[in-house]
Amino acid sequence: MTKVLVVDDSALLRRVLSEILTEAGFEVAIARDGVEALAKLDEVRPDVVTLDVQMPRMNGLECLEQIMARRPCPVVMVSSLTAEGAEATLSALELGAVDFLPKPDGVVSLAIDELAPVLIEKVTAAATAKVGRGSRLLERLRARREAARAPTKTGARPRKQGAAPAGDPPEGLVLVGTSTGGPAALEALLGDIAPDFPWPILVAQHMPASFTASLAARLDGLCPLSVVEAAGPTPLRTGGVYIARGGADMVVSRRAAGLVALPAPADPAHRWHPSVDRLVASAMAHVAPDRLVGVLMTGMGDDGARTMAELHRLGGRTVAESEETAVVWGMPGALVRLGGASAVEPVDAIAGRLSMMLAR
């Protein structure tokens, strides 16, 4: 039986989370704050920890650092849907947390029906996650990039490349889908992308609406290309990376001036949002398959697998992240099982693979 340690300073939320997990067949222990959680680590030996971000005595980030140092295990952060909560959650994912759960708005007891399936799904996926893989990989990549960016004898450093001029339409598109473990995987991919990469990159990362602007800003500081959240109709240009706005979908359309990314209300026909399947299907409606490359990285479920397999069948190219580096090999694994992957690569080799594909 999977053991879960629920850590939260709210007695009501502790009770609600514990009841949901117990009824789903998990063995549950509780802690009222980070200090108590650390004291119970060796006693409970949890398979998964749900960890509140904001707590007295020791906050969630401090507690997470200690968990990863003392007894690493999968951690799902429980975060408020605020700008501050988004920043803290993204920091937690960098420190090794595998996923996050938005804290219910308003009356918690009224949100149980909506909260329960998401909580169960995330804890179940976390129990199979590869702990700390993303954070260890990022440490290696950052060290490598720092060495590459070291000053030359003249003290000069490479300059960040901005988006191409508005009159420079893209020849094709790269479509990226991620979920659980995605922020670290995106950092690994985009941080290694070539500064002269010729096609726009569109990203659908499963996240709430309040998180993706912060994610785009973080990635923009790490990527040699320009990274923005596509919060409105956005022309697609070479030299640009476009992050779908969370809680909605992103679709590709064609206008007189060229291709654009449009935010669209979440389609209930799709389970996860922003939907990778919907992004890929919309791109295939406006761009020839041989002008599209699909990339499916770490994440639970199978979003994107069906449409990327179809893209592959029609002559497009696809890359699946390998099981070796994926925190959860759900989405890329589904693509591989469908026979839809042109290549299977560890996350730190995907940028190089893309450059090779587009050089042909």
Catalytic residue numbers, as ranges: 179, 206, 303
298, two tokens: 């770490």
Which residue blocks in the chain are alpha helix, DSSP H?
A: 11-23, 34-44, 60-70, 83-95, 112-126, 133-148, 182-191, 212-220, 276-284, 305-313, 331-337, 350-359
DSSP character at residue 78: E
Taking each continuous run of H as one helix and of E as one strand, the counts in the chain are: 12, 15
Which residue blocks in 59-191 are alpha helix, DSSP H?
A: 60-70, 83-95, 112-126, 133-148, 182-191
Starting from the edge strand earliest in sequence, which strands make up the sheet with 27-31, in order? 27-31, 3-7, 48-52, 75-79, 99-102
- Is the distance from CB of 203 to CB of 241 less than 8 angstroms? yes
